[in-house]
Amino acid sequence: MKRIYCELHMFDLHQRVYIVDTDTGDKECVAITTMEGLPEVISAISNEKKIDHVYLSGNSVFGNAVSEDILAYSKMNYSWNNIVIEVIK
């Protein structure tokens, strides 16, 4: 099963977004974006690839804020409201 994965690095200019295949363990970098662009990029990838599970790794408080932004952006721009976002450490 494919999932979108991003390690949040609060002080890095570029954030890498991956698609991970949980069956094989393969991980492919599909986008590099700024922290501000993360909700837009993850929403677009989710919509385009029809992947509805997102894992955000890093600071949980910051991750929860980013997850809310992703959900809001997805609902507003893609009518894609079934994304499941998990913030993991």
Does residue 47 sit within a domain?
A: no
Residue with tokens 């501000």: 36
Does residue 13 sit within a domain?
A: yes
Q: What is the pTM of this model?
A: 0.91
Does residue 41 sit within a domain?
A: no
Does residue 23 sit within a domain?
A: yes
pLDDT tens by residue, 40-88: 999 999 999 999 999 999 999 999 999 999 999 999 998 766 889 999 9
Residue with tokens 């922290």: 35
Domain carrying residue 27: 2-34+55-88
Residues across the chain:
89
Does residue 11 sit within a domain?
A: yes
Q: Is the pLDDT of residue 2 over 70?
A: yes
Does residue 46 sit within a domain?
A: no
Does residue 60 sit within a domain?
A: yes
Number of domains, the chain: 1
Closest alpha carbon to 70 in 60, 51, 84: 84
Closest alpha carbon to 62 in 35, 24, 29: 35
